Amino acid sequence: MDHFLYHNGILHAEDVAIPEIAAMVGTPFYVYSCATLTRHYHLFEEALAGLDHLVCFAMKSNSNQAVIAHLAGLGAGMDVVSGGEYLRARAAGVPGERIVFSGVGKTRDEMHMALTGGIRQFNVESEPELIALSEVATALGVTAPITVRVNPDVDAKTHEKIATGKSENKFGIPIAKAPAVYALAASLSGIAVVGIDVHIGSQLTDLEPFRQAYQKVRELTLRLRAEGHDIRRLDLGGGLGIPYERNNSAPPLPTEYGALIREVFHDLEVEVEIEPGRLISGNAGLLVTSVIYVKEGEGRDFLILDAAMNDLVRPAMYGAWHDIVPVKEPAPGDEQRPFDVVGPVCETGDTFAKQRQMTPVAAGDLVAFRSAGAYGAVMASEYNTRPLIPEVMVKGDQFAVIRARPTFDEIINRDTVPSWG
């Protein structure tokens, strides 16, 4: 469910008409719904009610300060994967004890930053990282709380570019090797073991891969405890998918996911962390764009939009589907016909959809890409010297620009031409 509905024939974000925002900020732009963010966060809280737990929002899905601050105000922790994301979380008011630091390539500078600024835990992904973290912590006179991310070699049955839990992926330590790595961690003066971490991928639409991974984590927990390690926290990652295509079957609900967690871990007396991103922010955002031209081609027609692959790269990178809807509601029975929906960037890959059945629109009309709140703005670029597009947040009948579109002068003036003569 989201809060982008038609009222009186016009698509609204909560109680704000999309054309009203477009008139103020121009197109293209992203718009986020506070009500949808709140609802989706609470779904996870309700799913884990009664368990000792923390829901950490995966900031890589959407790292705008307003989004982070809104979720933090609801009680969310944050899962960060870079020093920049860590600083964004802190700037948004998230306390260090609610920030988990993930990622395969943490640098010593990033370790230092988090250890001095406050951190809940590091999810360590290799022995060299573990040793480096111990050295940084020891030099600071502190201990670094850690989990070890284990790779359970489970096929998440998702897109190959967002699968993270198979043996061929770069993430984590092979689960069979974990006892030796925990023994190493226990021997290091700068390390304090607090738990285990696992994350097998993104956009999962079936609970069975979670079940397989979590059973392996359960077995590892019992073994590590028997070997003397204080395993009191399980970071179970994120990855639950969202329904990008409205007419397809829906992925499992957070309540079903929570029931699985209870089934596997109910008797272990552990604190559970989860790191949802897409399911919280994905359906909370739209990408709104204008039609520049309707072009008749050889055997096919094109909708040429003012949004492009630099604004929303998921279709070009993953072949991803987004429902594309007109902002003006079609009349019942309006005929649809196929269009290739494309942007103006000089790449054949700048194609959002091929032969998509749509109600015909005209130049100047607004269309919206649904489910664009995750991995949209955060993956955008200025390719072709196209400015990063505005982000807008809506709450009830109010809206605010939460990231402005830069001017061309601001973009160009970042460059410096050397005066070599």
Residue 37's alpha-carbon distances to 215, 234, 278, in angstroms, are: 31, 25, 11
| DSSP 3-state of 242 | coil
Q: Has 346 been annotated as catalytic?
A: yes
Q: Taking CA 178 as the corner, what is the angle to CA 175 and CA 183, rounded to the nearest 5 degrees?
A: 175
Contact (CB, 8 A) for 63 and 71: no
| Dist CA 65 CA 127 (whole Å) | 33
Catalytic residue among 226, 331, 346, 412: 346
User: Position of tokens 């955008």?
Assistant: 380
Q: Taking CA 389 as the corner, what is the angle to CA 385 and CA 394, rounded to the nearest 5 degrees?
A: 175
Largest CA distance in the chain: 73
Region at 190 (left for phi over 0; alpha for psi -120 to 50; beta for the rest): alpha
Nearest 10 degrees: Cα torsion 8, 11, 15, 21: -120
Instruction: Please report, in angstroms and rounded to a whole number, the separation of the first and last CA atoms in the chain.
Output: 61
**Surface-to-core class of residue 280, CB atoms within 10 Å of its CB (0-12 exposed, 13-18 middle, 19+ buried):** buried
| Dist CA 313 CA 379 (whole Å) | 7
| Dist CA 331 CA 306 (whole Å) | 25
| Dist CA 235 CA 237 (whole Å) | 6
User: Which residues are catalytically annotated?
Assistant: 346
